Amino acid sequence: MTYEAVIGLEVHVQLKTATKLFCGCRNEFGAEPNSRVCPVCLGLPGALPVPNEAAVIQTILTGLMMGSSIRPRAKFDRKNYFYPDMPKNYQISQYDQPLCLGGEVSLPVLAFPKDAQKEPQALAGKKVRLVRIHLEEDVGKSFHLENCSGIDFNRAGTPLMEIVTEADLTTPEEAFALLTTIREILRYGKVSDVDMEKGQLRCDVNISVRPVGTEAFGTKREIKNLNSISAVRRALKHEIQSQIELVSSGGTVVQETLRWDDARGETIPMRTKEQAHDYRYFPDPDLLPIRTEGRLRTEAERRMPELPETKKSRLRETYGLSEYQASVLASDPPLADYFEKAARSTRNPLTLANLTLNDYLALRQDSPDPMSIPPEYFGQLADLVSDGTLNSRQGREVLAILIQAPRPPKEIAQERGLTQISDSQVLEEFCREAIAANPKSVADFKGGKAAAINSLKGFVMKKTRGQANPQRIHELLESLLREP
């Protein structure tokens, strides 16, 4: 019997706010342990929470970006369960009246990993439905040392947005694509830095398997707190195979919560999975319901950005870029903005895109602030390359100098003697010299070995110290070699 997987995600996102969700403590990563705490986020008796307006607006904005219905009335609930790193032994969350309901995210083809082969092509554009987007507080963080354990409550109370999907996914590659797309959208909205190394984006996955062609869901298992998109894909591959082997051999899947050991490549049971009633949700008596209509929604709408897919389409149409070029630029909003500023100063956006993706991205790894180059200089450099004044090697050399000390690229090229020789009369003399000095290569070319022209081109490039225009050399050599 053939089985298929049914997968749903719960994506947890730390919001980019100045303070925590219900108190005035700084929302700051990397501070000294337990230095960003107060009676509210420590859950001390008598402390009263006050909602963070910025976090509410960012959650509404996320719902708008993902096509959710923004509820006119939302409330906070207490979710009761014991964790050692949860100060109050309950979490302030949202249950039956979240800020956002529904919505969907489309999976673009380029979000899929390269090794996904044919399957992503067929699934490109698939829409994954959302159940809800709600707001809650994060918990603290436990540290397990050699002889003891410690808890840092700095993270407790951090605004945490949860995006819950329907079980519309069927492969690890789709989950990989969805998380990549969600992360891109959140960065565009500037609601989170979504840095997984800092725990700003974490994911729980729910997986079950069923015979292909059946409608009923199998028993699901949940893998908690996956902290990288690659780990999600690896964990899903392992768990899907594990469940299929279990069911195929006549076994029964037990609903439980697992954790993923990435080093060992296996899941480890944590506890039997709770149901919603186990959490004993009830409205938080210290917090009034939130009315989203009016100022909160208006402010979220004002912050609505151009979304990634819209930007990709516009980059293709406006500048004639390929799907790949537009996708890479759109995946990095600051880089895309920089490219568009530079494009105002160039006659050839395609050359600018090639310089950006092939040279600029590599060189900026070694520069603390590569975007300090005035964008008009970058556009001027693209023109020097596209009109033949500089070849691609010379363009990279000028770009490296620009990153270190920005000034007009034409100035740099002239000072360094980097300008490309494109004058046909000058180049023809070098080409005739190459033909005279390499009779064997000439004979090979005329005998049908087209590649023999490369040694002649190499002769000219050596004579001109790499400054000759390669394309013009090729054209001149071909013309001269075909003369009777």
Q: Which residues have CB under 8 Å from 392's CB, separation 6+?
A: 385
Residues 324 and 451 in one domain: no
Q: Which pLDDT value is given to residue 283? A: 95
> Going by C-beta distance under 8 Å and a sequence separation of 6 or more, which residues neighbour residue 326?
311, 312, 313, 315, 316
* Judgement on whether residues 407 and 363 belong to the same structural domain of the protein: yes
Is 341 found in the same domain as 288? no
Print the domain residue range for 236: 3-300
Residues 16, 148 within the same domain: yes
For every residue of 374-411, DSSP letters joined together read -HHHHHHHHHHHHTTSS-HHHHHHHHHHHHHS---HHH
Using the structure block, give the residue that is written with the tokens 């996320």.
62
Burial class (CB in 10 A: 0-12, 13-18, 19+), 83: exposed
Coil, helix or strand at residue 312 = helix
CA separation for the pair 133, 279 (Å, rounded)? 19
CA-CA distance, 149 to 101, in Å (whole number)? Answer: 39
Residue 266 is classified by DSSP as E
- Residue 267 and residue 210 share a domain: yes
Q: Are residues 430 and 364 in the same domain?
A: no
Residues 294 and 363 in one domain: no
Q: Which of 254, 278, 300 is the last residue of a domain?
A: 300
Per-residue pLDDT of the chain (484 residues; tens, 9 = 90+): 899 999 999 999 999 999 999 999 999 998 999 999 999 999 999 999 999 999 999 999 999 999 999 999 999 999 998 878 888 889 999 999 999 999 999 987 544 444 444 444 445 578 999 999 999 999 999 888 889 999 999 999 999 999 999 999 999 999 999 999 999 999 999 999 999 888 899 999 999 999 998 999 999 999 998 988 999 999 999 999 999 999 999 999 999 999 999 888 988 888 775 666 678 999 999 999 999 999 999 999 999 999 998 999 999 999 999 988 998 999 888 889 999 999 999 999 999 999 999 888 877 665 545 567 899 999 999 999 988 788 888 888 899 888 888 899 999 988 887 776 777 888 888 899 999 999 998 898 888 888 888 989 899 888 887 778 787 888 888 888 887 6
With b for 16 or more beta-carbon neighbours within 10 A and e for fewer, the 84-123 pattern comes to: ebbbbebbbbbbebbbbbebebebbbbbbeeebeeebeeb
Q: What is the CATH number of the domain that holds 463?
A: 1.10.10.410
Instruction: Please give the pLDDT value at position 16.
Output: 96
Q: Note whether 380 and 286 are same-domain residues.
A: no
> Do 293 and 359 belong together in one domain?
no
User: Domain check: are 360 and 462 in the same one?
Assistant: no
Opening angle at CA 350, ends 347 and 351, nearest 5: 75
Whether 333 and 432 map to the same domain: the answer is no
- Which amino acid is it at 451? A
Q: Under a CB-based contact definition with an 8 Å cutoff, are residues 71 and 290 in contact?
A: no
* DSSP H or E stretch at residue 6: strand 3-14
Q: Which of 363, 398, 415 is the last residue of a domain?
A: 415
Count of CB atoms within 10 A of residue 25's CB?
22
Q: Which residues pair with 130 in a beta bridge?
A: 165
Same domain as 372, residue 275: no
The predicted pLDDT at position 116 comes to 43
CA distance 319 to 337: 13
What pLDDT is stored for residue 369 in this prediction? 55
How many structural domains is the chain composed of? 3
CA–CA dist 175, 3 (Å, integer): 18
**Domain termination residue (choose one: 243, 267, 300):** 300
